[in-house]
Amino acid sequence: MIEPNPKADLLRYLQQARDALLWKLDGLSEYDVRRPLTPTGTNLLGLVKHVAGVELAYFGDTFGRPFFEEEPPPWWYTREAEPNADMWATAEESREEIVGLYRQAWEHSDRTIAALALDATGHVPWWPEERREVTLHHVLVRVICDTQRHAGHADIVRELIDGSAGHGRDQDSLPAADRAWWESHHRRLERVARAADEIRPRPAAADPSDQTSVSSP
């Protein structure tokens, strides 16, 4: 009988997401790690910078354990930063600097997680007052979800850059197939998509006035 260890389970899945996100930068040029691959500018190094900030804020400031003892960087949430400032790295910010900050964030977060019980409470200063009180358990789940989501973004961005795919160095989770097979598979899916579009009517556009606004927890 294996004794349950919820904190260890949560931390293991968080670390898997951290590792998956970082290895997507391996072997790329300075241009490619910063290259915006979506209309909203999603890029690999920016994703790393963002999740570093997420960890430092949620496992630091939320539980009275701030990482920045002096002046925080200009993109930090307490500063008057430009929109999306934490989602890209300037030319002056090196890859080593951003990755190093993320690794420091891991260490800082892990110390918080080790020191506190899962039901320990903290306060998220950037949330509305009525929702600010949270538990470490809540924050862990939230940060895991956020990091896994951005690791998925990185999967797609890296594949668009050079065709590299998979969620880990040793486990790519993809069928064993050569380039010709994948090209054939891609063409097949394109044909299926076009056929489906021809035989099924397009859904009517949703009326924005019918949508109910729900605050994210």
Per-domain boundaries in the chain: 6-172
Average pLDDT over residues 81-109: 96
Q: Give, for 31, the enclosing helix (H) or strand (E).
A: helix 30-34
pLDDT at 213: 39
pLDDT level of residue 139 (50, 70, 90 thresholds): very high
Whole-model pTM above 0.95?
A: no
Strands (E), the chain: 121-123, 133-135
- Hey, which CATH number is domain 6-172, 3.40.50.920, 1.20.120.450, 1.10.8.60, 3.90.245.10? 1.20.120.450
For residues 166 and 154, give the distance between their C-alpha atoms in angstroms, rounded to a whole number.
10
Assess contact for 151 and 17: CB atoms under 8 A.
yes
Mean pLDDT for the stretch of residues 11-15:
96
- pLDDT at residue 170, as a whole number: 61
In the numeric block, which tokens belong to residue 35? 């290259």
Range from 14-28, 125-139, 186-200 carrying the lowest mean pLDDT: 186-200
Angle ∠(133,76,71) on CA atoms, nearest 5: 105
